[in-house]
Amino acid sequence: MTPNKAWAAGFLDGLTRDGLARISVVPKQSESPRVVVVLDNREPLVRLERLFGGQVANVRVVGDAGGKGKTVFRWTIAGARAMHMIVEILPGLYLQKDRARAALYYGWYEGNTKPSVWRRLFTRKRMP
């Protein structure tokens, strides 16, 4: 595992304790597994975006303690890219290892990702 992938695994596991990161197994068959991270600091999310793809978006939270809204940032990656990322960081995960395995199972065995996509992902050195 490269240092960047080890950082990503540790980062996601560290945020899991605070409920800021989650590997989701989406129950609807029309949707695929996804990874979502929400923070008030954009920099680590941009690093994840550079490493794995996905998208960083601004999200406005209304009505915090001071009565004013604040901006937080959300990084989301879904589908085949999310599953590729999960495979890459799985050895470094601890707290989210079971959810990661469930997401891979759901994506592969429930037919949400075609086998041709898996072949493409795992025969290339870099993600598409």
CATH code at position 93: 3.10.28.10
Please check whether residue 125 lies inside any domain of the structure.
Answer: no
How many Cα atoms occupy the beta-carbon half-sphere of 12 within 13 Å? 29
Tell me if 32 sits within 8 A of 26, measured CB to CB: yes
Q: Which of 26-30, 70-74, 110-114 has the highest mean pLDDT?
A: 70-74
57 within a domain of the structure (yes/no):
yes
State the burial class of residue 50 (Cβ atoms within 10 Å of its Cβ: 0-12, 13-18, 19+).
exposed
Which range marks the domain in which residue 82 is found? 3-119
Q: What is this structure's pTM?
A: 0.74
Q: Which of 33, 36, 35, 34 is nearest to 106 (CA)?
A: 33
Instruction: With a cut of 50, say whether residue 63 has pLDDT above it.
Output: yes
- pLDDT confidence band for 21 (50 / 70 / 90): confident
Predicted local confidence at residue 53, as pLDDT: 93
Q: What is the pLDDT of residue 59?
A: 83
- The domain tally of the chain equals 1
Residue 127 lies in a domain: no
More confident residue, 63 or 48: 48
Confidence class for position 100, pLDDT limits 50, 70, 90: confident
pLDDT at 115 over 60: no
Question: How many whole angstroms separate alpha carbon 78 and alpha carbon 83?
Answer: 8
Angle, to 10 degrees, between the axis of helix 43-52 and the axis of helix 3-16? 130
